[in-house]
Amino acid sequence: MKFDTPATTNPIDKGRVVGVAHDRIDGPAKVTGSAPYAYERHDAAPNAAYGWIVGSAIAKGTIAALDLRAAEAAPGVLGIVTHANAGKLGKGNYNTAPLLGGPAIMHYDQALALVIADTLENARAAAKLVRIDYAPQDGKFDLAAEQGNAVKPPDGGFGGAADSAVGDFDGAFAKAAVRIDQRYTTPDHSHAMLEPHATTAAWNGDKLTLWTANQMIAWSVGEVAKTLGIPKANIRLVAPYIGGGFGAKLWLRADALLAALGARQIGRPVKVAIARNQIPNNTTHRPATIQRIRIGADKNGVIDAIGHEVWSGDLPGGGTETAAMQTRLLYGGAHRMTAHRLATLDLPEGNAMRAPGEAVGLLALEVAMDELAEACGVDPVELRIRNDVQYDPEAGTQRPYSSRKLVECLRAGADRFGWAKRNPKPGKVRDGRWLVGMGVASAFRNNLVGKSGARIGVDGAGKVIVETDMTDIGTGSYTIIGQTAAEMLGVSLDDVIVRLGDSRFPASAGSGGQWGANSSTAGVYAAAMALRAKLAEKAGYPIDQAQFDDGLVKLGNQSQTLAALAGREGLWAEDSIEFGDLDKRYVQATFGAHFCEVGVDIDTAEVRIRRMGGAFAAGRILNPKSARSQVIGAMTMGAGSALMEALEVDTRFGLFINHDMAEYAVPVHADIPEQDVLFIDELDDKSSPMKAKGVGELGICGAGAAVANAIYNATGLRLRDYPLTIDKLL
Site string for ligand MOS, 100-139 (x = CB under 6 A): ----------------------------------------
- Cα distances (Å, whole numbers) of residue 438 to 364, 370, 487, 610, 714: 17, 12, 42, 10, 7
CB-wise, 352 or 617, nearer to ligand MOS? 352
**How near is the Cβ of 638 to ligand MOS at its closest, in Å?**
14
Q: Is 356 in the site for ligand MOS (CB under 6 A)?
A: yes
Stretch that binds ligand MOS, among 353-361, 570-578, 588-596, 665-673 (CB under 6 A): 353-361
**How near is the Cβ of 248 to ligand MOS at its closest, in Å?**
8
Query: Would you say 710 and 434 are in contact if contact means Cβ atoms under 8 Å apart?
Result: no
Stretch that binds ligand MOS, among 109-117, 243-251, 262-270, 664-672 (CB under 6 A): 243-251
CB-wise, 245 or 313, nearer to ligand MOS? 245
Q: Is 159 in the site for ligand MOS (CB under 6 A)?
A: no
Q: Is 723 in the site for ligand MOS (CB under 6 A)?
A: no
**How near is the Cβ of 356 to ligand MOS at its closest, in Å?**
5
Query: Would you say 725 and 621 are in contact if contact means Cβ atoms under 8 Å apart?
Result: no
Q: How far is CA 689 from the centre of its chain?
A: 23
Phi and psi, residue 171, nearest 5°: -65, -45
- The catalytic position among 321, 574, 597, 697 is 697
Instruction: Quote the CA–CA distance of 143 and 399 in Å, as a whole number.
Output: 37
Number of shown-chain residues binding ligand MOS (CB under 6 A): 10
- List 513, 640, 654, 702, residue binding ligand MOS (CB under 6 A): 513
- Comparing CA positions, the residue from 426, 454, 170, 476 lying closest to residue 294 is 170
Q: How many CA atoms lie within 13 A of 374 on its CB side?
A: 20
CB-wise, 101 or 513, nearer to ligand MOS? 513
- At 75, the amino acid letter reads P
Q: How far is CA 349 from the centre of its chain?
A: 17
Q: What are residue 453's DSSP bridge partners? A: 576
Q: Is 361 in the site for ligand MOS (CB under 6 A)?
A: no
Query: Would you say 171 and 92 are in contact if contact means Cβ atoms under 8 Å apart?
Result: no
Query: 422-432 burial, b if ≥16 CB within 10 A, otherwise e?
Result: beeebbebeee
- List 140, 354, 384, 610, residue binding ligand MOS (CB under 6 A): 354
CB-wise, 353 or 496, nearer to ligand MOS? 353
Stretch that binds ligand MOS, among 26-34, 276-284, 352-360, 649-657 (CB under 6 A): 352-360
CB-wise, 353 or 655, nearer to ligand MOS? 353
Q: Is 512 in the site for ligand MOS (CB under 6 A)?
A: yes
CB-wise, 354 or 686, nearer to ligand MOS? 354
Q: Is 638 in the site for ligand MOS (CB under 6 A)?
A: no
Q: Is 215 in the site for ligand MOS (CB under 6 A)?
A: yes
Shortest Cβ contact with ligand MOS: which residue? 247
- Residue 197 backbone zone (phi > 0: left; psi -120 to 50: alpha; other: beta): beta
Rg (CA), the chain: 26
State in Å, rounded, how far the first CA of the chain is from the last one. 59
- Comparing CA positions, the residue from 577, 581, 582 lying closest to residue 402 is 582
Among positions 291-350, residues that touch ligand MOS (CB under 6 A) are none
**Element spanning 185, H or E:** strand 178-186
Q: Is 476 in the site for ligand MOS (CB under 6 A)?
A: no
Q: Is 287 in the site for ligand MOS (CB under 6 A)?
A: no
114: three-class secondary structure by DSSP: strand
**How near is the Cβ of 698 to ligand MOS at its closest, in Å?**
12
- List 352, 491, 528, 703, residue binding ligand MOS (CB under 6 A): 352
> Does residue 697 carry a catalytic annotation?
yes
- Cα distances (Å, whole numbers) of residue 554 to 486, 530, 540, 569, 705: 16, 17, 10, 22, 53
Query: Would you say 673 and 654 are in contact if contact means Cβ atoms under 8 Å apart?
Result: no
**How near is the Cβ of 589 to ligand MOS at its closest, in Å?**
15
CB-wise, 74 or 470, nearer to ligand MOS? 470
Instruction: Quote the CA–CA distance of 704 and 363 in Å, as a whole number.
Output: 6
CB-wise, 322 or 503, nearer to ligand MOS? 322
Q: Is 250 in the site for ligand MOS (CB under 6 A)?
A: yes
Query: Would you say 372 and 182 are in contact if contact means Cβ atoms under 8 Å apart?
Result: no
Stretch that binds ligand MOS, among 77-85, 199-207, 244-252, 478-486 (CB under 6 A): 244-252
Between vectors from CA 412 to CA 409 and to CA 416, what angle results, nearest 5°? Answer: 130
Helices and strands, number each (H, E), in the chain:
18, 30
CB-wise, 482 or 512, nearer to ligand MOS? 512
Q: Is 245 in the site for ligand MOS (CB under 6 A)?
A: yes
**How near is the Cβ of 238 to ligand MOS at its closest, in Å?**
19
- List 111, 126, 201, 353, residue binding ligand MOS (CB under 6 A): 353
- Residues with a known catalytic role: 697
Instruction: State the residues that interact with ligand MOS by CB under 6 A.
Output: 215, 245, 247, 250, 352-354, 356, 512-513
